[in-house]
């Protein structure tokens, strides 16, 4: 079935409290999606962010981001008074996120609400803690100890706590019991709101596409509590880290810094840690997108002391054997594979084995630094997801303004673009009109925004992950226009393409 969706991070929803949340603005966006004839809402990872504010560098592969908890909804439940958060300065710009302010000012408000929650625990609170104990206990303790040491990385903690010596862990649980309770309560609030939001979306006919990063952050509870899963030395520091090699897009490559998995150990353990992670993600999302899918075939290992990715080397990943275990455990999981970049025959073989749809990015189709033939619409298979660009790309309008003139000229010829309506509409129509089963557009492109609305510029810090939509962005006029396009290209749920003489009403 042909479907369509919109990529918009929760953080980018409009909000008076500094960052998008899971409250009314999210519900309004879901209703906009339904009215616009969309089937899917794609988001970025929802974990708590660490240094650099990237959703791909989280303190936990399971926990939810406390910033996304909606204060208005908490106020309706009696856990906050409006003046306790409405009087706070959350930043000067409604289209920007000031993460420094959020870090300083959100947690005091959350402590007020969590204190009231724990003073009279809801009936389902204990059940939540029991059902999520596998990750929640370690996460709450990790965050409590991190707070004790001023937010320092666990690699810099005293040896006993760094290495999780049993006596030190027991002493920390006693000493930090109230902090542990706080961090558990935060997660209860997050998942209560998340489950409510997902139910609302599904009730409106909208599926949520979540994002599962291949790697986890070195400063995470996942590495601290499961060090045997990773390639670490006796002092728990990695000798090599993740990234990708130099190419036409980056002369130094990308140095991500994530620890590498010990696939030999993981295989002997029956892939248990990874299967639990997949299982959890498929419980909270309808569909998951695996970021850096090719890393399951082979991964790029870079000496941890290097400043660039030049000296990295490829090492074999678990390959098909891992996905045999996935299929046995999960039975036909709904997964999208991020298979962008240089693909070897073995990566293509792995993708074919899984049957997962890969990704096609239209902006890549016209890039003279790379062979874009796989990304030209006339080359697409049906079993793929097409994007004009992703969170790592410029917006369409930004790309048209900054790409090499020859690339832009090629795109204009191929896509028959004209400037009267805006180049973004022509490129999006090419995606909607392609044979791809699913077409997902960035919200920035639907709004016709330029490079100022770019979400992320890889290998840079300080200006990423900050863009937000303004109130009124999800207008009825835009919903009607999108509905007409979905009807024309047969992407309404259960629809077939209209002929030119049929009424749009």
Known catalytic residues? 291, 338, 392
Residues in CB range of 336: below 8 A, 6 or more apart:
209, 287, 288, 289, 290, 356, 357, 358, 359, 385, 438
Residues in CB range of 82: below 8 A, 6 or more apart:
75
Read off the DSSP letter of residue 156: G
What Rg, from alpha-carbon coordinates, does the chain have?
A: 23
Q: How far apart are CA 340 and CA 358, in angstroms?
A: 8
Residues in CB range of 61: below 8 A, 6 or more apart:
47, 135, 213, 216, 220, 222, 277
Closest CA to 396 of 425, 368, 375: 425
356-388 per-residue burial string, b: 16 or more CB within 10 A, e: under 16? bbbbbbbbbbbbeebebebbbbeebeeebbbbb
The two structure tokens encoding residue 222: 């996942």
Residue 236 neighbours by CB distance under 10 Å: 17
Asked if 361 and 388 touch (Cβ cutoff 8 Å), the reply is yes
Asked if 5 and 336 touch (Cβ cutoff 8 Å), the reply is no
44-53 per-residue burial string, b: 16 or more CB within 10 A, e: under 16? bbbbbbbeeb
Asked if 437 and 355 touch (Cβ cutoff 8 Å), the reply is no
The two structure tokens encoding residue 386: 């097409």
Residue 226 neighbours by CB distance under 10 Å: 14
- The alpha helices in 149-261, defined as continuous H runs, are 159-162, 166-175, 177-203, 221-225
Asked if 4 and 486 touch (Cβ cutoff 8 Å), the reply is yes
């Amino acid at each position: 079935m042909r479907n369509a969706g919109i990529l918009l991070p929760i953080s980018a929803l409009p909000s008076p409290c500094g960052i998008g949340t899971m409250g009314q603005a999210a519900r309004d966006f879901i209703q906009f999606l339904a009215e616009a004839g969309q089937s899917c809402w794609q988001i970025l990872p929802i974990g708590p962010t660490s240094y650099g504010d990237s959703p791909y560098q989280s303190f936990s592969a399971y926990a939810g981001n406390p910033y996304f908890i909606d204060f208005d909804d908490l106020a309706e439940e009696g856990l906050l008074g409006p003046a306790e958060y409405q009087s706070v300065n959350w930043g000067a710009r409604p289209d920007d996120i000031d993460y420094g302010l959020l870090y300083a000012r959100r947690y005091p408000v959350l402590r007020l609400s969590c204190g009231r929650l724990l003073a009279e625990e809801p009936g389902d609170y204990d059940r939540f803690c029991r059902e999520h104990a596998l990750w929640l206990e370690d996460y709450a303790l990790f965050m409590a100890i991190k707070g004790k040491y001023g937010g320092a990385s666990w690699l810099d903690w005293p040896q006993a706590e760094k290495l999780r010596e049993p006596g030190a862990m027991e002493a920390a649980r006693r000493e930090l019991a109230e902090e542990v309770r706080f961090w558990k309560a935060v997660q209860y609030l997050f998942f209560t709101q998340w489950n409510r939001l997902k139910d609302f979306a599904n009730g409106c006919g909208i599926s949520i596409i979540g994002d599962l990063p291949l790697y986890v952050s070195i400063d995470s509870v996942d590495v601290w509590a499961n060090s045997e899963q990773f390639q670490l030395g006796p002092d728990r520091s990695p000798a090599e880290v993740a990234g990708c090699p130099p190419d036409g897009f980056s002369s130094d490559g990308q140095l991500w810094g994530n620890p590498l998995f010990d696939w030999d150990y993981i295989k002997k353990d029956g892939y248990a840690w990874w299967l639990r992670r997949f299982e959890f993600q498929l419980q909270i999302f309808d569909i998951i997108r695996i970021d850096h899918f090719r890393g399951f075939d082979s991964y790029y290992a870079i000496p941890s002391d290097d400043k660039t990715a030049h000296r990295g080397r490829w090492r074999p990943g678990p390959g098909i054997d891992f996905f045999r275990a996935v299929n046995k455990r999960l039975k036909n999981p709904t997964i999208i594979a991020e298979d962008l970049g240089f693909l070897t025959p073995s990566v293509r073989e792995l993708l074919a084995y899984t049957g997962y749809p890969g990704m096609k990015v239209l902006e890549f189709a016209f890039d003279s630094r790379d062979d874009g033939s796989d990304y030209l619409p006339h080359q697409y298979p049906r079993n793929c997801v097409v994007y004009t660009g992703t969170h790592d790309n410029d917006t369409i309008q930004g790309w048209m303004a900054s790409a090499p003139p020859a690339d832009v000229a090629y795109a204009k010829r191929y896509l028959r673009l004209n400037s009267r309506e805006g180049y973004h509409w022509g490129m999006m129509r090419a995606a909607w009109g392609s044979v791809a089963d699913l077409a997902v557009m960035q919200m920035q492109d639907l709004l016709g925004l330029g490079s100022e609305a770019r979400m992320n510029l890889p290998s840079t810090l300080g200006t990423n992950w900050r863009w937000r939509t303004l109130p009124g962005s999800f207008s009825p006029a835009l919903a009607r226009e999108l509905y007409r396009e979905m009807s024309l290209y047969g992407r309404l749920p259960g629809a077939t393409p209209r002929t030119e003489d049929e009424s749009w009403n």
